[in-house]
Amino acid sequence: MVYILLTALFLILATFSFPKLLENNSILGLYNSKRSLNLPPVVKAWPLVGAIYMLVKDPVNLIKKNYQKYGSVFTIKVLGRNVTMLIGPEVSRHFYTAPDSELSQEELFKFTVPMFGPSVAYGVSTEKLTTTIPVPNERVETTDAADYFSKWQDCGTIDLMHELQHLITLTTTRCLLGNDVRGNLSEDVSSLIRDLAGGVLPISFLFPYLPIPAHNRRDRARGKLNHIFSNIINSRKSSLQSEEDLLQTLMESTYIDGESNTNEQVTGISMAILFAGQHNTGNAAVWTGAYLLQNKSYFSKVLEEQKELLHRHGSKIDFDILGEMDVLYRCIKEAIRIGSPPIITPRYCQKTFTVTTKEGKEYTIPKGHVVATSPAMANRLDYVLKDPDRYDPDRYLSVEEEEIASRPYSYISFGGGRHPCPGEAFTYIKLKTVWSYLIRNFELDLVSSFPEGNWNGKEKILVCYKRRHLSI
């Protein structure tokens, strides 16, 4: 209650002090000179509170509504900051290609500091961020899925959201951080990681310490995870035990200046990797299933593909066989396009630039704006893809559609340009492993309604299952 009152007080003060500032001549002068620039249209909303409420409650709708009203470039005012959205390939080229000195992540990604600690990632200077960590694609194994699903009964009903998020946390942890971390992952830890991820809301980019329940849960989760990771690191150190995994690599690695990682840094980087690898991938696993179970014709095509692979390779699944699952690949790609792409990817504008819309309108984006693209919106533009709201994995078979989708900045589920997602290949391998196992071993039916618009992942997605042996 105290937090709500303080926040409300801050909003009221900010709202009423803005006109006062305009009365000041120098600010008015600045305002007038800015008017001669062709600035993007500003979204009309209740002063301050309107946009912030929508941004927290329903960001996808906020972006969609204003795209329809203002076009591909518009500015949303959020608690006194200008957030300029750039939607579509024409206006997002600079967003993806500009150097970090012009469009930087650093200032906005400070929201990761309360998640991973002040001594790693965006808590330290960017000069220190020189090491890249290879994502071990070939370490994905089917035994994780087999172990996990062996605990299911012969038939029953599960919440797909809960089951797949949990499984993906376990497999990501083993693939990236080795077996003993995974051994310590109880049901509890999986939900701690969910709480950490749940602390990233669009509003967190601007105000990472805003005292809202999601941030409070994030902070509690980080404290507990810190404790668990520290115990594992200390026990490896005291037993002089060494493993071949990323955790060991982090424990033994040094920075350019010769400094080693502290326990706190190893823990922070480990949590960052878990977070990057788990959250989006877990959602993608759930949406792949929801769309497949909703669209029976595609489910049948995937089933046929699995039968054909069983016929040729027996029940074995390895890295190469996963590479042959083309139908499943397209189904996953399409589910990630419309089901679970990131809502907003932001940068901080350090150097004024211009963009030109496809209609030929030029806008100036001034230094100091937050600029953002929205994969959730940009992936559904009807001048880029035919019938963009339809789940249609076969669209990638048509040469024309595939060409459009592979044009720069048209399919941006995994970003692009200077900061593309390094986990894309890993994601496909992991999702193919999980879904090929499920399809081969279970009959599945969606029993709750299709979760359209369930962006926050809070509602259950109920699926009824029955064990089977797929006959060829």
Contacts with ligand HEM, residue ranges (CB under 6 A) = 135, 276-277, 280-281, 284, 336, 341-342, 345, 375, 413-415, 419, 421-423, 426-427
- Which is nearer to ligand HEM, 189 or 284 (by Cβ)? 284
- Least distance CB 338 / ligand HEM (angstroms): 12
Shortest Å, Cβ 393 to ligand HEM = 16
d(CA 201, CA 59): 9
Minimum distance, C-beta of residue 174 to ligand HEM, in the bound complex (Å): 12
Residue 131 or 300: which CB sits closer to ligand HEM?
A: 131
| Smallest separation, CB 135 to ligand HEM (Å) | 5
Q: Smaller CB distance to ligand HEM: residue 265 or 427?
A: 427
Nearer to ligand HEM, 48 or 331 (CB): 331
Closer Cβ to ligand HEM, 199 or 423, answer by number = 423
Q: What angle do CA 235, 240, 243 make, to 5 degrees?
A: 85
* Minimum CB distance to ligand HEM, residue 90 (Å): 18
- Residue closer to ligand HEM (CB basis): 65 or 419: 419
In the complex, least distance from residue 298 CB atom to ligand HEM, rounded to whole angstroms: 19
Residue nearer to ligand HEM on the CB measure, 72 or 427: 427
Please say whether the beta carbons of 79 and 9 come within 8 A: no
Minimal distance, residue 20 CB to ligand HEM, in Å: 36
How far apart, in whole angstroms, are the C-alpha atoms of residue 337 and residue 377?
10
- Report, in Å, the least distance between residue 100 CB and ligand HEM: 10
The answer to whether 285 and 429 have CB atoms below 8 angstroms apart is no
**Considering beta carbons, is residue 71 or 423 the nearer one to ligand HEM?**
423
| Residue given tokens 């709708």 in the structure block | 61
Beta bridge partners of 82: 77
Residue nearest ligand HEM by beta-carbon distance: 423
Indicate the residue among 50 and 417 with the shorter CB distance to ligand HEM. Answer: 417
Decide whether 199 or 339 has the Cβ nearer to ligand HEM. Answer: 339
User: H/E/C letters for each residue in the chain?
Assistant: CHHHHHHHHHHHHHHHHHHHHHHCHHHHHHHHHHHHCCCCCECCCCCCHHHHHHHHHCHHHHHHHHHHHHCCEEEEEECCEEEEEECCHHHHHHHHHCCCCCEECCCHHHHHHHHHCCCCHHHCCHHHCCCCCCCCHHHCCHHHHHHHHCCCCCEEEEEHHHHHHHHHHHHHHHHHHCHHHHHCCCHHHHHHHHHHHHCCCHHHHHCCCCCCHHHHHHHHHHHHHHHHHHHHHHHHHHHCCCCCCHHHHHHHCECCCCCECCHHHHHHHHHHHHHHHHHHHHHHHHHHHHHHHHCHHHHHHHHHHHHHHHHHHCCCCCHHHHHCCHHHHHHHHHHHHHCCCCCCEEEEECCCEEEECCCCCEEEECCCCEEEECHHHHCCCCCCCCCCCCCCHHHHCCHHHHHHHHCCCCCCCCCCCCCCCCCHHHHHHHHHHHHHHHHHHEEEEECCCCCCCCCCCCCCCEEEEEECCCCC
Q: How far is the CB of 467 from ligand HEM (least distance, A)?
A: 28
Q: How far is the CB of 341 from ligand HEM (least distance, A)?
A: 6
Q: Does residue 349 have a known ligand-binding role?
A: no
Sequence-distant (≥ 6) Cβ neighbours of residue 290 within 8 angstroms = 160, 335, 339, 446, 450, 451, 461
Binding positions are 421
Binding positions for heme are 421
